[in-house]
Amino acid sequence: MPQITVVRAGEQHSGEVPDNANLVVRAGIKKFPFPHLKYGCGMGKCTKCTSRVIAGAEHLPEPNWKERERLGAKLDEGYRLMCQLWLTHDLTIEQE
């Protein structure tokens, strides 16, 4: 099961999630990483779930069209939309 760490406001929050979990879907049903993850629409539109990947990016799929459209050059800086990712490996992310 993937081990997820969310860094926000200088604090680290870690927990395990089931294989193939989507962090925004989980937060929506009040499971970890709730309440530490900032999110909104869950559909790749609002960009509120934007997170910078600190570790584990090599296991993520290529950005989809929504991520490319919304994040543009920020993709090169390591940012991803958490609502567009289903996780199968450990991941550490930071939200501003």
Smallest gap from Cβ 84 to ligand FES, in A, equals 7
Select 2 or 70, whichever has its Cβ closest to ligand FES: 70
* Interface residue list for ligand FES (CB under 6 A): 24, 39-42, 44-49, 81, 83
Select 12 or 64, whichever has its Cβ closest to ligand FES: 64
Contacts of residues 2-5 at CB distance under 8 Å and 24 or more positions apart, as own/partner, are 2/87, 2/88, 2/89, 2/90, 2/91, 3/90, 4/32, 4/33, 4/87, 4/90, 4/91, 4/92, 4/93, 5/54, 5/55, 5/91, 5/92, 5/93
Smallest gap from Cβ 16 to ligand FES, in A, equals 22
Select 92 or 95, whichever has its Cβ closest to ligand FES: 95
Smallest gap from Cβ 60 to ligand FES, in A, equals 15
Select 18 or 40, whichever has its Cβ closest to ligand FES: 40
